[in-house]
Amino acid sequence: MRKLLKRLWHEESGMGTVEIVIIVAILVGVALLFRSQITNFVRAATDKVFDTDIIDESINAGEEKMGK
């Protein structure tokens, strides 16, 4: 019995790695399930950040101030 408990104690050291692998697998599964929603969200966010109309307006306004 004592040997069994010692063996179980030493085998638990790898449990942290197993837990992380399980969590990563669950996150990948969720990402695959909601792939289109995540893609649409990221695309909308990047469109707002990199909106070329806003950048063009800002550049044109700066050129007008400089007298070009």
3 occurs within a structural domain? no
Cα 21 from chain centre: 17
In the numeric block, the tokens 């400089």 are attached to 66
For residue 39, what are the domain limits? Answer: 17-66
| Pick from 42, 17, 38, 18: nearest CA to 28 | 38
Number of domains, the chain: 1
**pTM for the model:** 0.49
9 occurs within a structural domain? no
25 occurs within a structural domain? yes
58 occurs within a structural domain? yes
What average pLDDT score do residues 54-67 get?
A: 66
1 occurs within a structural domain? no
What's the pLDDT band for 48 if we cut at 50, 70, 90? Answer: confident
| Model pLDDT for residues 8-47, shown as the tens digit of each residue | 666 666 667 778 889 999 999 999 999 999 999 998 888 8
